[in-house]
Amino acid sequence: MAGSTLVIKDLHVAIEDKEIIKGLDLEIKPGEFHAVMGPNGAGKSTLASAIMGHPKYEITSGTVTMDGKDVLEMEVDERAKAGLFLAMQYPSEISGVTNADFLRSAINAKREEGNEIPLMQFIKKLDKTMEYLEMDLNMAQRYLNEGFSGGEKKRNEILQLMMLEPSIAILDEIDSGLDIDALKVVSKGINAMRSNDFSCLIITHYQRLLNYITPDFVHVMIQGRIVKSGGPELAQRLEAEGYDWIKKELGIEDEIEVG
């Protein structure tokens, strides 16, 4: 795989008729790591879910393309097969389906019929990856995310990322609820993916994560739009000074919640 380019143009997204994203442009090229930061309610997670195709979100206008192909026309599973991956903020729990069975189904879904991953090869790769992420090997036989702690769920998302090897990963607040040790392990996993064929959209509320994963670009999202972009130094200034200076600089007024 030679990596992929994701292009988002003038994207508008609504949930239950309320517009959350109000015209957003972003381009991610192969090998690039982008961070999107912003205060609560800016629409960061909505962006992640809309790109992946969460059924609750309605794209009211704009385009999302991957290597020129219309992502918004694709079913959720087709987006994954095209090389997209979303590490979710709140992964679902699926009772009765083991982590290992699920992962094997997911890997095989991407492969042609008759070309399924050999069982031994799968087990080796799974064991190796779990060890790398310092996970208890028994977690492979536990039901998918059922009864997992917050930190275990996040690690499990990164396990899936590393097993499925997508070309573009979106990480939706992968750092929330993680202690410093878990944060280091999760970051280690993501950094291990770094290559010219892999790009990443990191959505986060805190600069802390970016101490471990250095982004090439940092974007500030406020009120459903990217209002400012820069390099890693932008994240550091946000950490030190908050978002108010940007609002002031750009003349953005706080929205008043109605209802």
- 3-state secondary structure (DSSP) of residue 7: strand
Which residues contribute to the site for another protein (CB under 8 A)? 52-55, 75-77, 79-81, 85-86, 88, 91-92, 94-97, 101-102, 105-106, 109-110, 143, 160, 164
CB 42 → another protein: shortest distance, Å?
A: 22
Q: Are 203 and 36 in contact (CB under 8 A)?
A: yes
CB 163 → another protein: shortest distance, Å?
A: 9
**Concatenated DSSP letters of 87-109:** E-SSPPP-TT-BHHHHHHHHHHH
Question: What is the token pair recorded at 190?
Answer: 């993501």
CB 76 → another protein: shortest distance, Å?
A: 4
R_g of the chain computed on alpha carbons: 18
CB 231 → another protein: shortest distance, Å?
A: 30
Rounded Cα distance between 247 and 169, Å, is 29
Give whichever of 54 and 125 is closer to another protein, judged by the CB atom: 54
Give whichever of 161 and 226 is closer to another protein, judged by the CB atom: 161
> What beta strand segments (E) does 51-133 contain?
57-66, 69-70, 84-87
Give 57's strand partners. 15
Give whichever of 129 and 223 is closer to another protein, judged by the CB atom: 129
CB 102 → another protein: shortest distance, Å?
A: 7
Neighbours of 203 (CB within 10 A): 27
Give whichever of 139 and 235 is closer to another protein, judged by the CB atom: 139
Give whichever of 51 and 238 is closer to another protein, judged by the CB atom: 51
Q: Are 236 and 207 in contact (CB under 8 A)?
A: yes
Rounded Cα distance between 193 and 197, Å, is 9
Give whichever of 7 and 164 is closer to another protein, judged by the CB atom: 164
Rounded Cα distance between 174 and 94, Å, is 20
CB 237 → another protein: shortest distance, Å?
A: 34
Helix or strand (DSSP H, E) at 227: strand 225-230
CB 108 → another protein: shortest distance, Å?
A: 9
Q: Indicate the pairing of strand 217-222 with strand 33-37.
A: parallel
Give whichever of 1 and 109 is closer to another protein, judged by the CB atom: 109
Query: Residues for the chain: how many in total?
Result: 259
